[in-house]
Amino acid sequence: MSNVSERIELLEHGVDMSDALRTIGTPAVAETGESASEVVFDLRQLSVFYGDFRAVRDGTLEIRDHEITAFIGPSGCGKTTMLRCINRMNDFIPTARVEGQVLYHGVDLYDPAVNSTEVRRRIGMVFQKPNPFPKSIYDNVAYGPRLLGVKKRSQLDEVVERSLKGAALWDEVKDRLKESGLGLSGGQQQRLCIARAIAVEPDVILMDEPCSALDPIATGRIEELMAEMKDDYTIVIVTHNMQQAARVSDRTAFFTTEVNPESDRRTGILVEYDRTDKMFSNPTDQRTEDYVTGRFG
Residues 64-93 contacting other proteins, CB under 8 A: 87, 89, 92
Among the listed residues 57, 122, 221, 240, the single contact to other proteins using CB under 8 A: 122
| Interaction of residue 16 with other proteins, rule CB under 8 A | no
| Interaction of residue 118 with other proteins, rule CB under 8 A | yes
CB under 8 A, 24+ apart: contacts of 170-173: 173/137
Nearer to other proteins, 101 or 180 (CB): 180
Of 1-9, 111-119, 226-234, 239-247, the window that binds other proteins (rule: CB under 8 A) is: 111-119
Among the listed residues 101, 131, 212, 241, the single contact to other proteins using CB under 8 A: 131
Among the listed residues 25, 124, 187, 283, the single contact to other proteins using CB under 8 A: 124
Nearer to other proteins, 106 or 134 (CB): 134
| Interaction of residue 120 with other proteins, rule CB under 8 A | yes
Among the listed residues 24, 197, 225, 245, the single contact to other proteins using CB under 8 A: 197
Inter-residue contact 211 to 244 (CB < 8 Å): yes
Of 21-29, 37-45, 193-201, 269-277, the window that binds other proteins (rule: CB under 8 A) is: 193-201
| Interaction of residue 147 with other proteins, rule CB under 8 A | yes
| Interaction of residue 49 with other proteins, rule CB under 8 A | no
In DSSP terms, 96 is beta-bridged to: 50
Nearer to other proteins, 199 or 271 (CB): 199
| Interaction of residue 182 with other proteins, rule CB under 8 A | yes
Cα dihedral across residues 166, 168, 170, 176: positive or negative: negative
| Interaction of residue 222 with other proteins, rule CB under 8 A | no
| Interaction of residue 121 with other proteins, rule CB under 8 A | yes
| Interaction of residue 40 with other proteins, rule CB under 8 A | no
Among the listed residues 22, 42, 74, 133, the single contact to other proteins using CB under 8 A: 133
Nearer to other proteins, 16 or 34 (CB): 16
| Interaction of residue 13 with other proteins, rule CB under 8 A | no
Nearer to other proteins, 67 or 208 (CB): 208
> What are the DSSP calls for the chain, one per residue?
-HHHHHHHHHHHH---SS-TGGGGG-----SS-STTSPEEEEEEEEEEEETTEEEEEEEEEEEETT-EEEEE-STTSSHHHHHHHHTTGGGGSTTEEEEEEEEETTEETTSTTS-HHHHHHHEEEE-SS----SSBHHHHHHHHHHHTT---HHHHHHHHHHHHHHTT-HHHHTT-TTSBGGGS-HHHHHHHHHHHHHTT--SEEEEESTTTTS-HHHHHHHHHHHHHHTTT-EEEEE-S-HHHHHHH-SEEEEEEEEE-TTT--EEEEEEEEEEHHHHHHS-SSHHHHHHHTTS--
| CA nearest neighbour of 44 among 97, 90, 108, 91 | 108
Residue ranges binding other proteins (CB under 8 A) = 87, 89, 92, 94-95, 117-122, 124-127, 129, 131-135, 143-144, 147, 180-183, 193, 196-197, 199-200, 202
